[in-house]
Structure 1
């Protein structure tokens, strides 16, 4: 328990092999995309690719253990609903099934990821989050995001690492499961939920937010979930103090059932991820944050 790094016991998530994915895409579609560069950030990986016809660049991503049908019905549909509202999200240019994974190619948006979220940018981020609200009205066909409070998620939100890592994480898992037993496993609603709404997925130029990327987990639910995700993302660093204070005040105003379920999900997601991917001394920071509202 509490080993230097638990990844040897609990496997890390597999990262994108861009060359292998492009070879498969070429065989399936005949499209000869080529890798033009790497993209920093993210745990699963992404790559810049160039199209053979006009040479424009795009972003290659993949999602293991998923289908094209599910990708189009969930993440792509959610993103397109926002783009119809003028939201700065990338256009989806290609979706291909490669074995048990889905490969997507999306528009390369201008800008750089945010290192420290300041108040001016935060105001813009809140305006973007407001566009999520009601964007899927009348769209029950878009699936609600699952919270995985009682059972494992697909490669993330795993419960076993928490049960085995330490007494504190085992107790946290018990509390998370208790929330799941008393709640719906899906946050209901007709808002778009990005699912990974944090500064590393937000782009800026000259202080203005120019886009939001990484929509692979998007679906339907309550837009308040993304504010909880943002709060976890800026826990250790990444935002001015005043931004964190304002964000906490917004969370205080969320409906209790939304906040409780979203906080339990993010507590599970970040603690499990830390156990499997980060040095073990970092795990306690996520348990501490989880305890603030769970």
Structure 2
């Protein structure tokens, strides 16, 4: 693979906070003050301050995720209220409540147990809601800016072989069926904790949808692979009853998502890392 070919693949743009705040002021009349970039995240977020001194977080996202976040909060999940949503130059941006805490320095068993408890609170939260439809796994066609197939097809024989396996799994038509609320990006980087390691917030709900909440535990299992029995044991116990067909579909989605994103946005070492996670993880 040449660098020229890699650069031909589409990449997600970083958040241009100063420009977005200027456009928000033009559109809504609300002038927010930029305090600085927020740590973490692939696309970016920024800390902002309202005229009355309140501090919030600016992110790119979907305004329609707000009601889903509200559902989670009502069920006892610590989530941020959406305070402003705007459509800025073809991108939806959200200003949301800034929650206390910071990302965990290193995941531990206590954090995993708390995340499993949060996952339990997602059960059946959308049973009485006619929308949204269950989320897509994108195993046979590209996702909207992520889970792209062509980068795997072209990057190397190893990634092409993984893509072929993903396509075989996708041909069976697995879906993310269920009435649970699914976060879709459930990993320690989207959790905030206090100084005692207690979870104070679950953030980045942009992909939230209806489906099977156990998908989120497979996501967590994927990201924590290699973390040892203290981290993985409780997850494997919870996921033991998931059929191989369903588990492999969820694992295939994560394999596609992480390998594709690494090819387009990171280096060869990152690609190899996620291949090493993905390949032996199927049942």
What TM-score, normalized by structure 1, do the two folds share?
A: 0.90
Answer yes or no: is 1:213 the counterpart of 2:209.
Answer: no
Deviations 1:236-265 (A, max 9, x none): 6xx564112332333333233431211110
Task: Answer 1 or 2: higher relative contact order, Cα 8 Å, separation at least 6.
Answer: 1
Deviations 1:132-178 (A, max 9, x none): 11111111212321111111111110000000001111111111111
Q: Distance in 2 between matches of 1:214 and 1:9?
A: 28
Structure 1 residue 96 corresponds to structure 2 residue 89: no
- The answer for the alignment partner of 1:202 in structure 2 is 191
Report SS of the residue matched to 1:147.
Answer: coil
Give, in whole Å, the separation in 2 of the partners of 1:160 and 1:57: 41
Aligned to 1:44: 43
Q: Is 1:87 equivalent to 2:86 in the alignment? A: no
Q: Contact 1:144–1:188 (CA<8 Å) still a contact in 2?
A: yes
Classify the secondary structure of the residue corresponding to 1:32: coil
CA distance, structure 2, for counterparts of residue 50 and residue 240 of structure 1: 41
In structure 1, runs of 5+ residues without a counterpart are none
Report what 1:145 is aligned to. Answer: 135
Query: In terms of mean alpha carbon deviation, does 42-51 or 111-120 score higher?
Result: 111-120
SS class of match (2:159): helix
RMSD between superposed Cα atoms in Å: 1.8
CA deviation after TM superposition for structure 1 residue 7, in Å: 4.3
Q: Distance in 2 between the 1:172 and 1:240 partners? A: 25
Alignment of 1:169-248 (within 5 A): 169-184=159-174, 186-205=175-194, 206-235=196-225, 239=227, 241-248=229-236
Pairing 1:22-37 to 2, within 5 Å after superposition: 22-37=21-36
> Match of 1:56?
54
Gaps of 5+ in 2: none
- Deviation of 1:267 after TM superposition, in Å, equals 0.5
> What secondary structure, in the 3-state scheme, does the structure 2 residue paired with 1:112 have?
coil
Query: Mapping of 1:5-20 within 5 angstroms?
Result: 7-20=6-19
Matched residue count: 281
Alignment partners' CA distance in 1, 2:45 and 2:15: 7
